[in-house]
Amino acid sequence: RMIMDDRIRTKLEYIYGQKSGLATSRRLNKTIEKWRKTLPEIPGFPDGGVPADEGDAVMISYGDNIQSPEMVPLAALKDFADQHLNGVISGIHILPFSPYSSDDGFSVMDYREVNPDWGSWTDISAIGSRFRLMADLVLNHCSAKGTWFKQFLAGVPKYQNFFITVEPGTDLTAVFRPRALPLLHEFEVNGEKKQVWTTFSDDQVDLNFANPDVFLEFIDILLDYVGKGVRIIRLDAIGFLWKEIGTSCMHHPKTHEMVKLFRLVLAETAPGVILITETNVPHKENISYFGNGTDEAHMVYQFTLPPLTMDAYIRGDASKLTSWAQTLPEPNPDFTFFNFLASHDGVGVLPARGYLSDEEIEALITAVKGRGGLISYKATPAGEIPYELNISYRDAIAEKTLSDSLRAAKFLSSQAVMLSMAGMPGIYIHSLLGSGNWKEGVGLTGANRTINREKLSLAQLNTELDDPSSLRSMIFNGYSLLLKARSSHRAFHPAAAQKILDIGPSIFGLIRTSSDGRGVLCLQSVSSENQRIELPSEFSGYQSIHDIYEDVDIPVKEGCVEMTPWQVLWLENDN
């Protein structure tokens, strides 16, 4: 047991200095022992590695996304999931469900409580008993209206070092800014005016991880979540965690050490829990959170995938998507990508830079505006630059001029790109349900991101899903078929080999091969035209070949298959 304690102690001494680090490691040991007594056995894989397989796919949802007059929103979410998601989705990411004061949940007032308007821990655990539960640890900042900050303002000694205050006149020009807002806000602390560090807004006050009490508090909250049934932990906005004036305060070496500590603590207490980092930054910086492959995050978000997939379907040209995908690391059992296309936020523009030209990014912005979307900007020394595309992914991909059946086909083709790639898919509830832009919502809140955050009535949703002619039903049923096909074949295991093919601009194609040598050729058309596609040599010699998505045999003529506009073919080669 001491080997692990040693690694933890070494890291804590690096972060806090020898004396404080040693004292913190003793306190941390007590916390670990406390939770070891109460946590259930949560085993990882016998050989380590990411505890996930081809059957894993996560739906991302707010706790109050689905509403019903008969029950609290978390119970309505469970009702919907029990009716529609069994055998389709294995996990549910419930976005922050604690009491909050702003930012749709990401300004947490009390980490150990569930928002009473949405339900209780019983409702959360009930979802976790049927689905693999994913939750956020919003650890960079907390609410200015929450219990901790209120005690800080009142001068309570324990909380004086929970937040970061800066002397007036300090040079903070090096600090990376994600928002077009001031970095500091003035608060009155016990009668004295102080400048407090606020990365995201004046209601979201950054927490001071240079104080070991803050670190230990979050370890306790983390293990409390695990005790309540959480099995995947998302470290929100983790790149900003450690502040050192004079640096950009992004991806600080001590931030990486913190992630390693969270990983070590989970290895000690709950090795089957997956750790995922959320850093919406350029690809190279993002994948740095894999550490050496076994010591930081199990998974990182694949932030470059959403804008490049959107670009491929808007232009009908997948060549940029293909050339980027060819640079991805080989699939590995120890770490993988959390692949997603849409989320509660918009589609980030920054991760596309370097892969799309400035002209292509401009064209993407113009197309998004033309399809009813909005653009959010951020401050830089050179002025404001586009930061995020705010639009429902369905409306971005599938233009309203198409028939409903073609809109469904085109949108599902874009989703098949993500589902075919190595990693674990994260599917935003509004993509799974084929929702469009919620313009009224933006009018209500004044926030661009609300366009993709509509609340749905459970009864109306069930009615639409029961009507096979509705666009919602076409998309949901097609999505369910894709997910069932994916979970039926070992070639879609996160660690199964992946070979990205270059078969021209109008197809995104790849071969996934399982550890026992069974292959699936995934062809996703980004084109509005019919096409003939020559099969690669690994799939030659067939008169017909089986498509596992629609469960049909596809005729092969002279080594080629025919594809209709935006068709998806997942062809298996098991003989």
Question: Could you say which of 56, 64, 206, 236 is catalytic?
Answer: 236
Structural tokens at position 71: 């029950």
Which secondary structure element, helix H or strand E, spans residue 301, and what is its range?
strand 299-301
Q: Calculate the average pLDDT of the chain.
A: 96
Judged against a pLDDT cut of 80, whether residue 460 lies above it is answered with yes
Q: Which of 229, 311, 322, 310 is nearest to 270 (CA)?
A: 229
CATH fold, domain 497-573, is Immunoglobulin-like (2.60.40)
Q: Which of 390, 539, 549 is nearest to 561 (CA)?
A: 539
Tell me the pTM.
Answer: 0.96
CA dihedral 163, 167, 169, 171 (to 10 degrees): -50
- Give residue limits of the domains in the chain: 497-573
Q: What is the mean pLDDT of residues 404-416?
A: 99
Judged against a pLDDT cut of 90, whether residue 180 lies above it is answered with no
How far apart CA 75 and CA 67 sit, in angstroms, is 9
pLDDT value, residue 575: 54
Q: Which of 107, 62, 156, 19 is nearest to 454 (CA)?
A: 62
Helices 18-38 and 212-227: angle between axes, nearest 10 degrees: 10
Query: 242 to each of 112, 139, 199, 301, 484, how far by Cα in Å?
Result: 23, 11, 12, 20, 42
pLDDT digit string, tens, across residues 20-56: 999 999 999 999 999 999 999 999 987 778 999 999 9
pLDDT value, residue 3: 61
Judged against a pLDDT cut of 60, whether residue 1 lies above it is answered with no
Judged against a pLDDT cut of 90, whether residue 378 lies above it is answered with no
pLDDT digit string, tens, across residues 501-521: 999 999 999 999 999 999 999
Judged against a pLDDT cut of 70, whether residue 2 lies above it is answered with no
Q: Which of 416, 385, 387, 408 is nearest to 307 (CA)?
A: 387
Report CA 358 to chain centroid distance, whole Å.
26
Q: How confident is the model at residue 280 (pLDDT cuts 50, 70, 90)?
A: confident
Q: Which of 35, 32, 112, 122 is nearest to 75 (CA)?
A: 122
Q: What is the mean pLDDT of residues 307-323?
A: 98
* 236 is annotated as an active-site residue: yes
pLDDT digit string, tens, across residues 106-118: 999 999 999 999 9
pLDDT value, residue 47: 77
Name the region of 424 (left: φ>0; alpha: ψ -120 to 50; beta: rest): beta
Task: List, in sequence order, the alpha helices (H) in 283-345.
Answer: 283-287, 305-315, 319-325
Judged against a pLDDT cut of 70, whether residue 228 lies above it is answered with yes
Name the region of 411 (left: φ>0; alpha: ψ -120 to 50; beta: rest): alpha
